[in-house]
Amino acid sequence: TSLLWDALALIGIGALGYRFGGLRLGVTLAFAWAAYPFTQYVSSSNSNDAIMPALLVWGLVFVTSPPARGLFSGLAAWTKFTALLLLPLWASYPKAWKWPRQQLLFAAGFLAATALAFWVFLLEPDPVNAARLFWDRTFGWQLSRPSPFSIWDWEEYPGFPDLHVLQTVLKGLLVAAAVVLAFIPRTRNVVQLAALTAALLIGFELVLTHWFYLYIPWFFPFVAFAVLVPAAVRVAEPEPLPEDSGDERQVGELVPSR
């Protein structure tokens, strides 16, 4: 499983670069994933931490399709709950106030992902009890999980303050930022979407009690894409579309500069 998702992430980030920056960017991003020590650490550890970024990367590959964007972000969210923070941002691409068709299509994709993730409950004699068990062993455990791997749970050691209040405040600010990004900026291109995705994921990891090095690849593809887009690529002005055209054209499509 670890090797499979490592390969899917590598192929996905290469496809993302090829779509929005051409062959050179595609090869560069694929090499960046393969050469990055922490992606190799995930693979060598037989960890599942490449699954969420791989799904999100493929969501960016098909970013102009709201149902596909909802499907991939939904699958990513039910793999690692961190991606739930991205839903307002991803639902509002490319126009934050383009209601309601865009958001409805995104929601349909997310619901399809949720059905794919949770249909197994129907195989249980008591689906309600299975759902309760799922909650207890996922959200319930993670929300109260102790850990020595970040500063937020060090108060038991001599000389370290209790930072739980500060951590709670920062968590609230992070959630507020995730909601605000659904509306600001009003329009965004795919590079901005990747950069803001990385910012939210990094923010989540900064306030996470149980943090580990395996989590670095969660945000790496989006940082790499936003940073390595070459200077020869510029952001085009979005073309106005009729409200009832049904055409989901890329806003802020990357095109070579003249």
The pLDDT tens digits for 20-50 are: 988 999 999 999 999 999 999 999 999 999 9
* DSSP run (H or E) holding 254: strand 254-256
**What pLDDT, on a 0 to 100 scale, did the predictor assign at position 258?**
33
Report the SS3 class of residue 24: helix
- At residue 105, the pLDDT reads 93
Give residue 233's pLDDT: 55
Q: Could you tell me the pTM of the whole model?
A: 0.85
Asked whether the CA dihedral 146, 148, 152, 156 is positive or negative, the reply is: positive
Q: Which two tokens stand for residue 172?
A: 């609230």
Give the pLDDT of residue 65: 92
pLDDT of residue 148: 82
pLDDT at 49: 94
Count, residues in the chain? 258
CB burial string 75-111: b at 16+ within 10 A, e below: bbbbbbebbebbbbbbbbbbebebeeebbebbbebbe
Rg (CA), the chain: 19
Helix, strand, coil percent values for the chain (each to nearest 5): 65, 5, 35
Q: Going by C-beta distance under 8 Å and a sequence separation of 6 or more, which residues neighbour residue 98? A: 92
CA-nearest of 125, 116, 59 to 93 is: 59
CA–CA distance, 70 with 73 (Å, rounded to integer):
5
Q: What is the pLDDT of residue 170?
A: 94
- Residue ranges of the chain whose pLDDT lies below 50: 232, 234-253, 255-258
Whole-number pLDDT of residue 152: 86
φ/ψ of residue 233, rounded to 5: -105, 130
d(CA 66, CA 99): 12
Buried b (16+ CB within 10 A) or exposed e, 8-30: bbbbbbbbbbbbbbeeebbebbb
At 200 the pLDDT is 97
